[in-house]
Amino acid sequence: MSKHLYAAAVCTLVLLGAALAGCVAAEQSAGPAEDRDILYQASTIDALLLGAYDGCISIGELRAHGDFGIGCLHKLDGELVAVDGGFYQIRHDGTVHPVADVETAPFAAVTFFDSDETIMLDGPMNLTVLQERVLEHLPSENYFYAIRIDGTFPSVEARSVPAQERPYPRLVDAVADQSVFSFQNETGSLVGFWTPAFAEGINVPGYHFHFITDDRTGGGHVLDLYLEEAEVQIDMTPDFSMSLPTGGDFPGLDLSGGLQEDLATVER
C-alpha cells in the first residue's frame, strides 16, 4: 500500500517564486496538496483492450486508494462501480453484487471523492450534450477529474460484459457479447472520470462513466442516456498514480499504441 509522504514546504516556494520576475510560477504547485486528490489506477486501458483480463489488484487495495471509481472484474466478469465507499459488480445478467476485498480487478481507477464544484444542469440532454455542458465547467482539459452526476434519469442505456476464458479475446471482440440494460425513470448516479488527452493509452481520453441505481440493483457502463435535470459534482485530482501489473500478460503486451479504433468501438 503506497502512502506518499509529502513535505509541505510550499509556503517557502511560493514566497521565493513571487520574488522571481513576477512570474506566475508562484501560484502554481505540482506538489500534491492532499493525499485525497490523487487519481489512482491499476494497469492501463490499452492492456485491457488487448485482453489482459486477469485481476492484478485486490478490491481491498483499491479501497485504500479511494471510495469512488470505475473498472472491471477478474476475467472481465462485469463492470465495477465504487460509490460512497461501496464497491459493486454489475454482472452480465444485470444483477448487482457488493464486491469482497479479496476479489480482484484487471483495470480500475479510484479516488477519494471530494467535490470542488457542484453545478445544477437543466435538460433535456443526451450523453453528448451532458458531456459538453460539464466540459464548460472544467477549469482545464489538462487534469484528471472525478465526476459524479446524481439525478432521476428518464432513460439510461448501460451494458455489462460476460466473464471471459483463455485464450482471452481482445476487448473489442469480448464486448460483442455484451448485455445492454435500459433503465427508465431511475434515480441513480453516474460515476466516472475525465482523462486528459495526453493520457491516451493509459486511460480513456475524455469522459468514461458507469451508472448505478440508488437502490444498488442495476447499472453498467453508460452507452447513452436522457436527462432532464441533474446535480454534477466535479473533483479535480491534479495528482495521478498508477500501479502496473508486475506479472501476468502485461509485460508481454505490445503497448506501443494505435488502439484508438478499438477504444471507440468498445466505448460506444
Q: In angstroms, what CA-CA distances link 13 with 6, 21, 32, 35, 110?
A: 14, 14, 14, 20, 30
DSSP state of 200: B
180 sits near a copy of itself (criterion: CB under 8 A): no
The smaller minimum CB distance to a copy of itself, of residues 204 and 230, is found at 204
116 sits near a copy of itself (criterion: CB under 8 A): no
- Among positions 195-224, residues that touch a copy of itself (CB under 8 A) are 196-202
The smaller minimum CB distance to a copy of itself, of residues 129 and 253, is found at 253
CB of 98 to a copy of itself, least distance (A): 6
Instruction: Give the CA-trace dihedral at 1, 52, 83, 64, to 10 degrees.
Output: 0
Q: Is 148 exposed, middle or buried (0-12, 13-18, 19+ CB in 10 A)?
A: buried
CB of 222 to a copy of itself, least distance (A): 24
The smaller minimum CB distance to a copy of itself, of residues 125 and 263, is found at 263
- Among positions 43-82, residues that touch a copy of itself (CB under 8 A) are 43-44, 46, 54-58, 60-61, 63-65, 74-75
d(C-alpha 19, C-alpha 37), whole Å: 28
CB of 212 to a copy of itself, least distance (A): 13
The smaller minimum CB distance to a copy of itself, of residues 27 and 136, is found at 27
d(C-alpha 46, C-alpha 49), whole Å: 5
d(C-alpha 19, C-alpha 172), whole Å: 54
